[in-house]
Structure 1
Amino acid sequence: MVQVRREPLADQAAELLLTRIRSGEWKLGEKLPGETTLAPQLGVGRSTVREAIRQLAGRGVLATRQGAGVFVTALDAPEDWNTVLRRVGIVAVIEARLAIETEAAALAAERRTPAELRTIRRAPKQRTGHRADTDTDSDTEQHVDADTAFHRSVLVAAHNAILTELFDDFTPHSRRAMIDMLRLGESDPELDHDLHVRLVEAVADRDGAAAAELSRNHLLVMKERLA
């Protein structure tokens, strides 16, 4: 019998239960033993077992059904989103952006309002206000921030809150890599600007296929540079 030896007890008990679930001791949809059985197995009190179950329920692994018991609803707990983003490399982030922004560009061409189009049109001019190939750190950072604002304006015009939130989650992790890339001179400012201008026109013309392709090409170039 495995005993919990370190504090906090509830966290340790939750991890022990999760380990047993991962090992296949309980199948998906199966009911867990009661607190009176689990408590001595884990070497903790019943209140600690209840807290451990609450933790795993919050992580989507267990579900308590009133009058029926506690059931397994997932065979593992997904990592926290920010933990995943810290662990993966920047290329994985760019690949995820490819999936998000390619579809968002097509949707933006279909759904953008006149006001959103005006915001999108202004963005490339703001990008060129800070040269990407400058030796000035602040200008490089402001260029990256202006570039991010441009891409976000396209996301907003897609009218899909999930895509926008995913983009916002990626932003802090891609920003540093973009700044480093530009400082190393791994960019073609003229080509980069041309792709952005063409993307704006595709959105303006409501050409979803062209907008998606231009967004994809831009991010593929970025991926190749970062790789």
Structure 2
Amino acid sequence: MTLEALRPSPLVEQAARQLRAQITGGHWPVGSRLPGETTLAKTLGVGRSTVREALRALAGAGMVRPRQGAGVFVIATEPGEDWPTRLRRAAVADVYEVRAMVEVQAVRLAAARRTEADVAALRAALEGRRADGADDAAFVDADIALHTALVDAAHNPVLTDLFGQFAPALRQGLIDLIQLLGLRDDDPHHGDARHAALVDAVIAGDADIASTLLQSELEETRGLLLARRG
């Protein structure tokens, strides 16, 4: 397989695809150093900035690694799993443990940074969680929506994006847990008092109470998930 000059379209994607093919095809085995940016740019018929972005994409996929002053070296012949894929494959209890680390800090920030718009969103999300007649899936979706509103109130886009990655990985596990243990059999609004107190603490600006309430809730649910797994 040889490198070919690229057609005008998304050049970075084309460059990354061709370089990846060279690596997976064995042209550049693990441990080998790739040609320099100037050489690759000339061969591919693109600018050095395009090559640089393509190499960055391959580094993000875990296939190459730059070494300061030495060049870019192949470290794997296949791309690694991306973050969403890893989350989907992980045990729900393990995802929950990391979720707690993220969300507990987020509610502390939310208690300090919440705006009037956040307060309205939190109250609306709490009422949504109380919807009568909601099935288990709808209840879990409403619960996640409330927790998303809490994280949003921290006004940190990185935290918001990170929590957004957790939600799909948690959803089905939580639905299964509710159904397996019958958590809503006696109380269709399971955990309402604790969630109401959490919302009140954030609105009142009490970071200590908010974080303590949330930590307790998440630890309790993780304990149920671990017991189910065991």
How far apart are the structure 1 equivalents of 2:121 and 2:34?
58
What corresponds to 1:105 in structure 2? 107
Query: Displacement of 1:173 after TM fit?
Result: 1.2
Is 1:176 matched up with 2:172? yes
- SS of 1:158's partner is coil
> Retained in 1: the 8 A contact 2:29–2:74?
no
Q: Which residue in the other structure is 2:12 paired with?
A: none
2:84 pairs with 62, 82, 85, which one? 82
Deviation sequence 1:95-151 (CA, Å, 0-9, x none) = 1210111011000000000121122123222212146xxxxxx61111111101100
What does 1:1-227 align with in structure 2 at a 5 Å threshold?
11=20, 13-15=22-24, 16=26, 20-21=30-31, 32=33, 34=35, 56-60=55-59, 61-62=64-65, 71-72=71-72, 79-130=81-132, 139-185=135-181, 187=183, 189=187, 192-227=191-226
Q: Normalising by structure 1, what TM-score?
A: 0.70
Give, in whole Å, the separation in 2 of the partners of 1:72 and 1:213.
47
The CA distance in 2 between the partners of 1:152 and 1:160, in whole Å, is 12
Q: Contact 2:108/2:207 (CA < 8 Å) preserved in 1?
A: yes
CA RMSD of aligned residues (A): 3.7
- What do residues 42-79 of structure 1 show as CA deviations (whole Å, max 9, x unaligned)? xxxx76xxxx99865413234599xx9x8237956763
Whichever residue aligns with residue 135 of structure 2, its letter is D
| Shift of residue 211, structure 1, vs aligned partner | 1.1
CA distance in 1, matches of 2:192, 2:28: 50
Distance between the aligned counterparts of 2:209 and 2:66, measured in 1?
46
Contact 2:28–2:34 (8 Å) recurs in 1: no
Alpha-carbon shift at residue 160 of structure 1 (Å): 0.5
CA contact (8 A) 2:106 2:154 kept: yes
5+ long unaligned stretches in structure 2: 2-16, 37-42, 45-50
Q: Secondary structure at the match of 2:196?
A: helix
Residue 182 of structure 1 aligns to a residue whose secondary structure is: helix
Cα distance between partner residues in 2 of 1:130 and 1:150: 16
Return closer, same or farther for 1:57/1:122 CA change in 2, 3 Å cut-off. closer
Between stretches 148-157 and 119-128, larger displacement belongs to: 119-128
Check conservation: 1:57, 1:64, Cα contact below 8 A.
no
SS in 2 for 1:122: helix
